[in-house]
Structures are given as structure tokens and as C-alpha cells.
Amino acid sequence: MAKNSKDRAQKPKAAATAPAAASSETDEEVPVTEPLLVSVVGGTTDALAAVEESKSEEVRKTMEELAKVNKVTGSARAASMTWDESRRRYG
């Protein structure tokens, strides 16, 4: 019995030290770098802006594809419903 109580007493101590170790990792300073400048005709632009532009274009295309799929799926679902099911769902 005494052996178990010693084990229980030690567990909270180990748990108390774990968060301290984890928090010390997040306290490190990380150097901040400026975004690269890319020369273009008529001036310069941030490389980060170009990356964001390509990402937004990619997101737009993905959203268009999803809209097409949803339209097809919705049409197929509506076609498979009976008149009664449609009235219950859409009023």
C-alpha cells in the first residue's frame, strides 16, 4: 500500500515539469526576415504578394469546381425525389 502512495505522489511532480519544458520551447526568439523583392517591368513587387495571388487563383478555381459538382449533385438529387418529397423539403 505504501509503495502505491509513493507512486501517486511522484506522478503530479512529473506532470508539473512537463508543461515547463514545453513552454521553454515556445519562448525562443525567431528571426524575422523581410520578403524578397522581385524586379518586374515598371518597378518591383513583393514575392509574397505573387504567391498570395497564385493561391487566390487556385482557391477560385477550386471553388468553381466545387460549385459545378454541387450543381450536378443537386440536380440529380432533385430529379430522384418524388413530388411529395420535394414539397416536404422545399415547401
Domain-by-domain residue ranges, the chain? 56-91
Contact 81, 89 (CB under 8 A): yes
Give Cβ neighbours of residue 66 (< 8 Å, ≥ 6 apart). Answer: none
Pairing of strands 43-46, 37-40: antiparallel
Residue 40 pLDDT greater than 80, yes or no: no
Q: What percent of the chain has pLDDT over 90?
A: 3
| Better-scored residue on pLDDT, 80 or 17 | 80
Confidence of residue 43 (pLDDT cuts 50, 70, 90): low
User: Does the global pTM surpass 0.85?
Assistant: no
Q: State how far the Cα of 91 lies from the Cα of 88, in Å rounded to an integer.
A: 6
| Better-scored residue on pLDDT, 15 or 89 | 89
Confidence of residue 2 (pLDDT cuts 50, 70, 90): low
